[in-house]
Structure formats: structure tokens, C-alpha cells
């Protein structure tokens, strides 16, 4: 793949992360409103899935995007991929992880970086619907947390993944959760990004505690000032892990990339503030089905292009073209 070169006016991993998320253009034209469906989960909870339906004859591809930590269909990358799909005449879907669609979910759980069973259930339901309505192939992309979870699904599914999707891509995924957790828990990252995430994650957790009294220790949660401590109190025990170390070990996609049996593109900028470059996989650590793209610049889900304020359409175009050509 052609390498990415950051604009000269946007130096460094932090600027390349923050600016695209807040100010870069996401689409050339206003996007149509999403069509939302609410699905009941096997455990009696719900998730919300936002769709953009393309015009024209079937069959046509469906691009499914799994968002990142505290993301949604309105995240900058989700709208950029929506613009790409609309321009290509593809259908588009953004399933929201539990509690991320604007309404707290019902069950005593939320979502996590290794949530491959939830990914599998969502993709299987989408595939079944398309099989009965004459839909075309499915392609899936996951961003950050969603990218790691999507790769974990592909790893667990093995050969069977090809029955559901034709190809997958991950963008800025923390493939080694311990390395990513350590990076976001120190210095500037802790002051800015950790504080930003916890500002929404803690209130959601407290709302979950109000639904299910006694679910976890409220005081310990309030005292958590990094993701390691938050995951120890909330994420790990609610999702069947012993503690944060167990969760980060079992949830990481990096050790199992050799098990993937469908075309998979793994995109990580070396200067990503959340994902240390030294923690990224090398070609010898992955299987024949995995393509690594590790440009020197791009930040975390940034990859802005053009003159100020820049745009973020370039990454969806490159990733989407790769997915379209994957066999």
C-alpha cells in the first residue's frame, strides 16, 4: 500500500490524533440520517445498529464498522467511512457496543476490547439477513478497541469466518492491551486521553451500579484514575476476567494473529500515542492472511490529509479499496 505522509502543518502523534477528531472534514457532502434498528441480544439486553442504505440494484456490499472506546456512528472515523460507502454505492452499518448509542443498556455488563462473542453474534445476524434479502458480500472494519475485538473474532472463528465476511481491517487497534494500557496511563496521555475517557466511562458505570446494586465497589471506582484501575473494578470482573492483567492478556489480538484465515489488513501508525510502536507485530509474527501497514505517522485514528483544516477521507479510501480487492 502507498505510504501515508502527514501534512507538514500537522506534526507529531498528538496533533495527528486530536486535530482530525475535532476539526478535520469528514465528508464532501452532508450525510443522510442513519436508520436505527434496536436488536434484542441473546441475554435479553439490547444494542442499537445504525444503517445507511445505498440506492440501486442488489446485490451490493455491506461495510460494517465497529467503533472504538466510547465511540459511536457519529465519531469522525465512522462518518468518514460512511461517506466512503455512500460514494461507492455500498450499504453501511455501525453496530453500537452496549451503552454507546446514547442510552444505557440493561444487563450487568458493558463492552470490552476482547468482546469477540458479541462481534460474532452481530456479524452472524447481519449475514443471515443479507442471505435472505439478496445482499452482497460483507466487509468489516474495526477502529481502536473495535479493531482489536474484530481481529479476536477472526482469530477465534478461523476458517469459519469466511462464511460470514470476505475480509476485515483494523485501524489503530491496541493489539497488545497491556502495552497500550501502560502508554495511555502515563504523562500527557494520562492527563488528556485517560481523563477524557474516564469522564464518560465512570458515569456510565455508576448508572450500571444504580441498575444493579452491589455490582461493584463504588468507592474503588471513584478512586480509579487510570484505565488499569477502572478495568480492575469494572470491565474485568463484569465480563468474566479475574482482573485487569487477565483481561488484557486474554483480550489482546497480537498473540493470535497467525490464526486468522481470511484477508485481514492491520493498520497502525508507529507514532500512535496509545499504541507504542515497539509493541506492534512484525510480519514474521502473523499468518499469510494478514497484511501489516505501519506508516511512520498518522497518530491514533488520525491520518489527516490536505490543507488546513484537512480531511480524513484518505484512510477510508485506502482501507476500503483494500477490502474491495481482497480475495
Q: Give the active site residue among 115, 272, 297, 311.
A: 272
End-to-end CA distance of the chain: 16
Rounded to 10°, the helix 13-22/76-88 angle is 70
How far apart CA 253 and CA 151 sit, in angstroms, is 6
Say how many C-beta atoms besides its own lie within 10 A of residue 203's C-beta.
11
How far apart CA 62 and CA 244 sit, in angstroms, is 35
- Quote the Cα angle for 131-77-136, to 5°: 15
User: Mapping DSSP to helix (H, G, I), strand (E, B) and coil, where does residue 219 land?
Assistant: helix
Per-residue DSSP letters for 251-311?
Answer: H-SGGGGGG--S-EEEE--TT-SSS-GGGSPPGGGS-TTEEEE--S--TTTT--BSSTT-B
Q: Give the active site residue among 144, 170, 252, 279.
A: 144
- Strand-pairing partners, residue 265, are 169, 291
Verify whether residue 300 is a known catalytic residue: yes
- Residues noted as catalytic: 144, 272, 300
Amino acid at each position: 500500500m502507498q505510504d501515508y505522509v502527514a501534512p507538514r502543518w500537522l506534526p507529531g502523534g498528538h496533533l495527528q490524533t486530536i486535530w482530525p477528531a475535532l476539526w478535520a472534514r469528514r465528508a464532501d457532502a452532508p450525510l443522510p440520517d442513519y436508520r436505527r434498528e434496536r436488536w434484542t441480544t441473546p441475554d435479553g439486553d439490547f444494542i442499537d445498529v445504525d444503517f445507511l442504505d445505498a440506492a440501486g440494484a442488489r446485490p451490493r456490499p455491506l461495510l460494517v464498522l465497529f467503533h472504538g472506546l466510547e465511540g459511536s456512528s457519529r465519531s469522525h472515523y465512522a462518518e468518514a467511512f460512511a461517506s466512503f460507502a455512500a460514494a461507492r454505492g455500498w450499504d453501511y452499518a455501525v453496530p453500537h457496543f452496549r451503552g454507546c448509542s446514547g442510552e444505557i443498556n440493561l444487563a450487568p455488563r458493558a463492552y470490552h476490547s476482547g468482546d469477540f462473542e458479541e462481534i460474532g453474534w452481530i456479524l452472524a445476524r447481519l449475514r443471515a439477513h443479507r442471505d435472505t434479502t439478496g445482499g452482497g458480500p460483507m466487509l468489516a472494519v474495526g477502529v481502536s478497541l473495535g479493531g482489536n475485538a474484530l481481529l479476536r473474532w477472526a482469530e477465534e472463528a478461523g476458517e469459519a469466518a469466511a462464511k460470514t465476511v470476505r475480509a476485515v481491517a483494523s485501524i489503530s487497534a491496541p493489539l497488545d492491551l497491556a502495552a497500550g494500557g501502560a502508554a495511555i496511563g502515563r504523562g500527557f496521555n494520562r492527563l488528556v486521553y485517560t481523563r477524557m475517557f474516564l469522564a464518560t466511562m465512570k458515569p456510565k458505570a455508576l448508572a450500571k451500579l444504580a441498575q444493579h446494586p452491589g455490582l461493584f465497589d463504588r468507592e474503588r471506582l471513584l478512586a480509579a484514575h487510570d484505565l488499569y484501575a477502572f478495568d480492575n473494578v469494572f470491565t474485568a470482573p463484569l465480563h468474566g476476567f479475574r482482573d485487569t492483567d487477565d483481561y488484557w492478556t486474554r483480550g489482546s489480538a497480537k498473540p493470535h494473529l497467525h490464526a486468522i484465515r481470511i484477508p485481514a489488513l492491520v493498520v497502525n501508525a508507529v507514532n500512535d500515542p496509545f499504541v507504542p510502536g515497539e509493541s506492534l507485530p512484525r510480519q514474521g509474527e502473523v499468518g499469510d492472511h494478514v497484511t501489516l501497514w505501519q506508516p511512520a505517522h498518522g497518530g491514533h485514528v488520525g491520518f489527516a490529509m490536505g490543507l488546513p483544516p484537512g480531511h480524513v477521507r484518505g484512510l477510508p479510501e485506502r482501507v476500503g479499496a483494500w477490502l474491495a480487492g481482497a480475495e
